[in-house]
Amino acid sequence: MASYVEISRCNLIPLSLSSLCACHSRRPSSSSLKTLILARSNSSNLRLSLLFDGSRRVFRVPRGIYVNYPRVITAVASTGPDRLDEGETKEVDSASELQQKAGQLKKRIVFGLGIGISCGGVVLAGGWVFTVAIAAAVFVGSREYFELVRSRGIAAGMTPPPRYVSRFCSVICTLIPILTLYFGLDVSVTSAAFVVAMTLLLQRGNPRFAQLSSTMFGLFYCGYLPSFWVKLRCGLAAPALNSRVVTGWPLLLGGQTLWTVGLVATLISISSIIAADTCAFAGGKAFGRTPLTNISPKKTWEGAAAGLAGCIATSVILSRILSWPTSFLSAIAFGVLNFFGSLFGDLTESMIKRDAGVKDSGSLIPGHGGLLDRVDSYIFTGALAYSFVKTLLPLYGV
């Protein structure tokens, strides 16, 4: 008997028909594309390689057949052992894995730079531009959060809120940053919580506490906490005019009047978070040995220490450049606060994803996953940074 291999869209299906060795194509069915059938006799040692021109991906399939995936197909038959050498197999697989990682890294860098430049411009603009950007991010993030809540992993142990309630809550979360800019955060959140609770309690059927708790946490996590960035950037309007960077800032871009304590604090906080994530990743890759927590097995104590050092260093350096805060100890404390806010924000989202049974919160950003995967480090940090600047610094001096 011979074994046949049918290849349709790179799906390999073993068949058993005859003992001849042939290579021919047949017309595809309405549900498939081009199909190639290879027959190979068991009595002869034959090695077949399928080369699909133009692709870098290599797939290992049974009976010594290698597929290099795309559209133009070349079939090559040669006598030789039925199976390839194990070392050659590992070499091909490792090359394919390296190519995939390189492509993934390139996507991350390109989209990361684009997002960073865009966010920098939004932070400098401030006002309603910054607020609308926060509101848009809140809308996308809240949709991803409720999709995680409704996922099989979390919904198996609780009753998720109805879909119309989760969508309504996403809209409410989106309005909170805008209302915060004009009416304050307290009034906005109190009104939003009341409306969402009434919507849940008046739904048809039997309302469950699990629905109320998951929705209220979504309101807190996706709406209330991000709004502190609006209070930090737009609410702290005291001028910061004691820096060379400020005095030399072009009048076309706003001049000295653009630079406020809120802007400087926001820039230092965001830069510190970026430095913490980057240093933690690099330090964990180079020196990571001791797991930090079961919530995120890839995080290590060594990576966390590197992230803390990078966060503090960035906070101190920028405080010297921007002349705020003027106290060296205040700059260190600000860096420590930003680090712990980013770390526990990251761990909180990792816990939600772990219970949901997913790797990423979404697929919005190529190479990065969902929006929550990129902004999880910022969710708690805005509230901590605002509290530090508004409460602690006046108490102990800047």
Q: Are 99 and 59 in contact (CB under 8 A)?
A: no
Q: Is 50 exceeded by the pLDDT of residue 34?
A: no
Return the structure tokens found at 171.
């809209």
Global pTM reads 0.72
Return the structure tokens found at 172.
């409410």
Mean of the per-residue pLDDT values for the chain? 77
Helix 209-218 crosses helix 163-183 at what angle (to 10 degrees)? 40
Q: Which helix (H) or strand (E) holds 49?
A: strand 46-53
Parallel, antiparallel, or unpaired for β 46-53 and 65-68? parallel
Position 86 scores a pLDDT of 55
Taking only the tens place, the pLDDT of each residue in 5-30 is 444 444 444 444 333 334 444 444 44
- For residue 325, whether the previous peptide bond is cis, meaning omega lies within 30 degrees of 0, is yes
* Identity of the highest mean pLDDT range in 124-128, 189-193, 303-307, 360-364: 303-307
Position 369 scores a pLDDT of 74
pLDDT band at 332 (very low <50, low <70, confident <90, very high): very high
Average pLDDT estimate for 57-70: 45
Taking only the tens place, the pLDDT of each residue in 303-320 is 999 999 999 999 999 999
Average pLDDT estimate for 115-127: 88
Query: HSE (CB half, 13 Å, CA atoms) of 349?
Result: 27
Taking only the tens place, the pLDDT of each residue in 193-252 is 998 888 888 887 788 888 888 999 999 999 999 999 999 999 898 887 777 777 777 777
Domain ranges within the chain, ordered by starting residue: 2-84, 126-235, 237-398
Torsion from C-alpha of 199, 203, 209, 210, nearest 10 degrees: -90
Min mean pLDDT across 57-61, 281-285, 378-382 is at 57-61
Position 356 scores a pLDDT of 85
Q: Are 246 and 318 in contact (CB under 8 A)?
A: no
Q: Which residue has the higher pLDDT, 157 or 145?
A: 145
Q: Which residue has the higher pLDDT, 251 or 112?
A: 251
- pLDDT over 70 percentage in the chain: 72
* Identity of the highest mean pLDDT range in 46-55, 173-182, 234-243, 359-368: 173-182
pLDDT band at 91 (very low <50, low <70, confident <90, very high): low
pLDDT band at 37 (very low <50, low <70, confident <90, very high): very low
Say how far apart CA 177 and CA 135 lie, in whole Å: 6
Average pLDDT estimate for 357-371: 76
Min mean pLDDT across 129-133, 158-162, 350-354, 390-394 is at 158-162
Say how far apart CA 372 and CA 374 lie, in whole Å: 5
Return the structure tokens found at 227.
């709004």
Position 106 scores a pLDDT of 72
| Bridge partners, residue 22, by sequence | 39
DSSP string, 277-300: HHHHHHHHHHH--SB--SSSTT-B
Taking only the tens place, the pLDDT of each residue in 266-293 is 999 999 999 999 999 999 999 999 999 9
| Nearest Cα residue to 25 out of 59, 62, 50 | 50
Residue 117 CB contacts under 8 Å (≥ 6 apart), including other chains: none
- pLDDT over 90 percentage in the chain: 38
